[in-house]
Structure 1
Amino acid sequence: MKNVLTYLTIVLFSFSTYTCASKKQNSTPKNPKIKTLKGVGFTVDYPNTWMEFGGMGYVNFAPKELKKQYPSKEGFSTSVNKYFLSVDGFENIEEALYHHGNTKRTPEKTKTFKITKINTHHKFLYKIDYTIIYKSDPETVFKCVEYFFKSKNKIEYIYYQMFEDLYDTYLKEAMVIINSHRLKT
């Protein structure tokens, strides 16, 4: 009987250790601490599980674990830079958004998009959801969302882009960054 109890204790301990270790490797923290970045012209909050990177004049954020796993791979990030959408020459913002979404950038091989008007958000007017394949990495599909807002007399946007299979995994944390974006006045 003593041997059976010892055996059960070892099996249960081993199983619980394996389960805890597996959960640690395959999940992001439920409530990461929030850090603040004061950039030129804006302030933004971001989870401490993400890192900021970029060069002169621009700032991007990406999950630390992905930057470690794919140090030279690009295309997954949340960008809070000043991207402007020109509405000059268009009848309305919807026409400018359609032109913007439909324009294929040089590195893009294929892309699809969907424009959505946002009536329930205090800041964002529209969003464009994309599925993109780049020429440099035709085996990888990316999902992207751009959020458009009015700043003075201009339309600006910020975006989140991620590998398609990981998009939903990091969406909540990316939205912390996007929703916290504040312009300095």
Structure 2
Amino acid sequence: MKMEFVPYIESLFPAMLMSITGVASFLCEKDQNEDPGHRAALALVQRFGDLCPHSLLDGFEGAYCCTLQSDSPEETARNAVTREKTVVLLGKVAEKILEHKKFGQDLLSTEDCSNKATRERVLLLILLARFDADASVKRVANGLWKTAGGAPKVQKAIMPNMTRFLERLRGGDRGPGAQKLALEAK
């Protein structure tokens, strides 16, 4: 994929994330890479994760929030797998950004890749996922938080924006599932 593809990322990436079925995860280890939605999203993240992470963030937020609400146990299980894989892919973006860090830097202070608002938004999404009801999503998010440099000083630095982000979610603009999660996240 070349840089001419960048204008299409914001419209195609959410569809890729939402097409992660998670069915292959239940079959066997060998078939985990057979999920076309996951493979497409992973290819996009690997190519553009550090070149234009800002283009990917709306897709991550939208897919994560859309999968918080479900009507049946089957849909709940599928949505949990989709959220888990979405958070894993978000971690890949964080890793791509961290490839540009210097000694002693964390995700927030890495200046050679993207801008501070983008890096902060990645941290906000990781922090939100730490409050997920599904244990596997929580486990992945906690690991990412540690990798991204989730020290108390980083959390303190992003807290004003986290408060605004949670207020926006509590307003219901991302659906009732995200609203409920934002109310539980304090």
Shorter-chain TM-score above 0.5:
no
Structure with bigger helix share is: 2
Point out the structure with the larger strand share.
1
TM-score by length of structure 1 reads 0.23
* Length-normalised TM-score, structure 2: 0.23
**Larger Cα-atom Rg:** 1
